[in-house]
Amino acid sequence: MKRSSLDRTTRIGVVGATGAVGTVTLELLRERGYENVRAFASARSAGKMLGELLVEEATPQILAAGDLDVCLFSVGTAASRDLVPHAVRGGALAVDKPSAVRLQDGVPLVVPEVNAACATDHAGIVANPNCCTIPLTMVLKTLHDAAGLARVRVSTYQSMSGAGAHRMAELRATAPADAHLDMDWDFDGEDFEEESKLRAETRKILELPNLPISATCVRVPVLVGHAEAIWVETQDPLSADAARRLLHEAPGVRLEQVPRPRDAVGSDDVLVGRVRADETVAHGLVLFAVCDNLRKGAALNAIQVAELVLESRAVAASAASS
């Protein structure tokens, strides 16, 4: 069981607790030893029990009451825009998973293994990135620090759980012969929204606003586990062997020969493999990455972000009192 070094009585609210990400968030908070957790959801879910937790309705009044230290949001964009300001008004740190604020100026977009220092520079809200941006930036950061990034191409193979619990139920009810690929995001005639988000968020997190990134996103008939095929061109030479060594040492990354989504389910790590030279370009590498999109791709990253901020506050308070 993983336990945080922080005060386990920290008052935490999970908003969207009955959804696919919310239920995993509650599980991870239990694993990490937090004892003062409340579950919030919409009015139609209020009154349900999640284990020993009674689901409360997430209302502006309740979230602004001032009795929460942290609110972890995994709700739709409209609900997030409505509720997050009230949680912040009540004094809570809001870690927001929906895309509502990820690209706003002044709102840090954080992957702890990549840009942890940004987490503390906030005005009450820290954004949790897209479930494919998180593993992608963890891989790219390692390669960028070693050899610089000249260009990135990525194709994603995203599981049904990324679209919510109802899509998981649909897949379970679908005969294998009827399962198919999908592209179920908003489309502007050129890019799907998911592709635009992946590109913009990666640039913001890596602080490389002009990095050329080409993305193609696809939904696949897999319950849990997002996969990414990644083509990278580096500015300086970097061999496949050197890249493997660097990725083996990278925080939150586990090097495997052939990573598969099923191997990532239940894991906190991003699994990376198939690392090889791309012979079609100078300084090219090809690799394959997978992660549990409900854990590191969403719930775990949000909890780690909250812990970064809380630890920073604790250190500052200790320094001020000494």
Residues tagged active-site: 131, 226
Cβ neighbourhood burial of 90 (10 Å; 0-12, 13-18, 19+):
buried
CA distances from 115 to 22, 121, 133, 179 (A): 24, 11, 13, 38
The Cα–Cα gap between 123 and 59 comes to 21
Q: How many CB atoms lie within 10 A of CB 66?
A: 10
Q: Dump the DSSP string for 122-178.
A: -SSEEEPPPTTHHHHHHHHHHHHHHH-EEEEEEEEEE-GGGG-HHHHHHHHTS-GGG
Contact at 8 Å (CB) between 137 and 203? no
Nearest to 288 by CA among 245, 244, 232, 227: 227
Q: Residue 84: in which H helix or E strand, if any?
A: helix 77-89
- DSSP annotation of 283: T
Q: β-pairing, 93-96 with 125-127? A: parallel
Q: Residue 306: in which H helix or E strand, if any?
A: helix 300-321
The Cα–Cα gap between 125 and 138 comes to 22
Contact at 8 Å (CB) between 93 and 306? yes
